[in-house]
Structure formats: structure tokens, C-alpha cells
Amino acid sequence: MSDNLIIIEKKGGVATILLNRPKKRNALSLSMWSRIIDLVKEAEEDNDIKVIVLTGEGKAFAAGADIDEFESVFSDPASAKRTAGVTYDSQKQLSRCSKPTIAMIRGACVGGGCGLALHCDLRIADTTARFGITPGKLGLVYSLQDTKRLLEAVGPSKAKEILYTGKIIDASEALSIGLIDHLVEPELLTEAVWTLADEIGAASQFSVRATKKILQMILDGTKDDTEETRRLFVDAYAGDDFKEGYQAFKQKRAPKFTYS
């Protein structure tokens, strides 16, 4: 039963991971957090998949953690530690995935749901989206990993305001502060996400994945080239994708990259 609360659909090089609990606005249970780990791994290991999209069924992305589980999963410090570990591993699996990830957001994107969206590379929302991170209203503390992702997206002052107040913000404000990357009307959301996924999928996947790795290294604090980043730079010139891209450029045609 828990497997049906999150499902994966694969089509045209895109794996869509769907939070499938619409009657509870896709509130995240502990089993759902664990399932995300497995499904991201599955998409990452599938050579046909180039982009991973995370979204929610119905009118919400995810309204946060499942409040009904709080008494059991946070019943004592040991249980709380285990729960935090699963959440951490799930978000890390998503953020450190080698393939680009896009959050497709409508409706509520609150608490753990907002944290999940922040661990995607890109976030596209429609005008129904509402965002909030509410530990301050529950006497809880946002993890360092979550706080870092928020800080990277919106900057120190806005991150403080969001966390100190726990207020809910609308999609327009989310766009203006950098919490989301694109904002569209509800009827255009799916099209906007698939257009971006197609554009990413048409690029050299060697370039995309190497670039994602280097960007993450910079976010982690690497300040200068390392042996690994130099190797990625040099290896690109010997790769089939560069040969194809160079020839396509000269011949004024679209390249057909083969790296997977």
C-alpha cells in the first residue's frame, strides 16, 4: 500500500515521481520519504532517463509532514533521530542525484514539501502555489541541510524572515525572492515543465551531469579547480559528445548526442 503513495512514470527520457496522496494534500509519511530514496535511485540508474520531475497528484505539491504520525515517529529521541535520518537521506538522494531534477509545483508546498522542492535543481510553479516553512509555529528546528538550501535560493535576509515567521507566501512573492525559477498559469504548468525537460534532454548529458557535479562542489565550498574538475574538463574534449557537437555546429544542424 505504501508503494502506491508514491509512484514513478517514465516517458520520453523523463521520470516523473508522483506523490500520490491527494486526499491528504500529499502529506509525507515516513514510508513515503523512504520510497523517494528508492525511486530516485531507480531513475538515476535507468540509462534512458535524462531528467527527473517531482510533483504531487491533485491540487497540492505536498502540505508537509504527516501530522498523524508525529506521536509515533517523534515519540522519543531515538525515534526522532531515525526519522530525521530517513528524511535527510531522502533529500540528499534527490539533491546529489547525477541527473537534473525539476519540482513541478501547484497548491500547497509547505514544510517538508517545501524542503523537498528546494532539493530539486529547478522549481516551476503555477499561480495556485503557496509556500511556507513552519517549524517556528510548531516549536521545531529546520535542519542545517534544509536551511542551507533555502539560504542558497533566497539569501540570508529572506531565509530568516521565512523561518522566523513561518508565514505562507504566494507564488508571485516566491518568484520575486528566488524561491522558484518560473511561474506560469495553471493550465500551462505541465507544458512548461516538459519544455524545460526536453531542452535539458536535448543537451549533451555528459556536459549536463559534469556541470551539475561542479556546481555542487562549488556550493559545498570548493573554491578552486581540483584533480576531478580538471579531469572532467579534459575528458570532454575526448568524448563522443564533443565530436558530435563540434560537427553539428560546423554543419549547422542539431546535434545527436549519445552519452547516457
Residue 72's pLDDT is: 75
What DSSP designation does 166 have? -
Whether residue 202 has pLDDT greater than 70: yes
Q: Which CATH class is domain 203-251?
A: mainly alpha
Domain 2-200 homologous superfamily, CATH: 2-enoyl-CoA Hydratase; Chain A, domain 1 (3.90.226.10)
Q: Please, which pLDDT band fits residue 2 given cuts at 50, 70 and 90?
A: low
Whether residue 195 has pLDDT greater than 50: yes
In this structure, are residues 97 and 53 in contact, taking their beta carbons and an 8 Å threshold?
no
Mean pLDDT over 197-211 rounds to 97
Q: What is the pLDDT of residues 14-39, one digit of tens each?
A: 999 999 999 999 999 999 999 999 99
Q: Which of 33, 211, 4, 14 is nearest to 119 (CA)?
A: 33
Q: What is the pLDDT of residues 227-241, one digit of tens each?
A: 999 999 999 999 999
With the CA atoms of 77, 80, 82 and 85 taken in that order, what torsion angle do they form, in degrees rounded to the nearest 10? -120
| Phi/psi-derived region of residue 228, left when phi > 0, alpha when psi is between -120 and 50, beta in every other case | alpha
Task: Compute the mean pLDDT over every residue in the chain, rounded to the nearest whole number.
Answer: 94
In this structure, are residues 117 and 61 in contact, taking their beta carbons and an 8 Å threshold?
yes
Mean pLDDT over 48-77 rounds to 88
| Angstrom distance (rounded) from CA 5 to CA 69 | 15
Indicate the angle between helix axes 227-238 and 240-251, nearest 10 degrees: 50
| Angstrom distance (rounded) from CA 258 to CA 31 | 36
Residue 240's pLDDT is: 96
Residue 1's pLDDT is: 42
**φ and ψ at residue 212, rounded to 5 degrees:** -60, -40
Indicate the angle between helix axes 144-154 and 77-95, nearest 10 degrees: 40
* This prediction's pTM: 0.95
Q: Please, which pLDDT band fits residue 79 given cuts at 50, 70 and 90?
A: confident
The domains of the chain are located at: 2-200, 203-251
In this structure, are residues 196 and 124 in contact, taking their beta carbons and an 8 Å threshold?
yes
203-251 has the same fold as 2-200: no
Largest CA distance in the chain: 65
Indicate the length of the chain as a whole number: 260
| Angstrom distance (rounded) from CA 149 to CA 133 | 12
Q: What is the pLDDT of residues 242-252, one digit of tens each?
A: 999 999 999 99
Cell numbers standing for residue 2: 505504501
Helix (H), strand (E) at residue 172 = helix 171-177
DSSP codes joined into one string, 197-224: HHHHHHS-HHHHHHHHHHHHHHHTT--S
| Angstrom distance (rounded) from CA 211 to CA 184 | 27
Q: Please, which pLDDT band fits residue 140 given cuts at 50, 70 and 90?
A: confident
Residue with grid cell 518560473, as numbered in its chain: 182
Mean pLDDT over 155-173 rounds to 97
Whether residue 259 has pLDDT greater than 80: yes
Residue type, 249: F
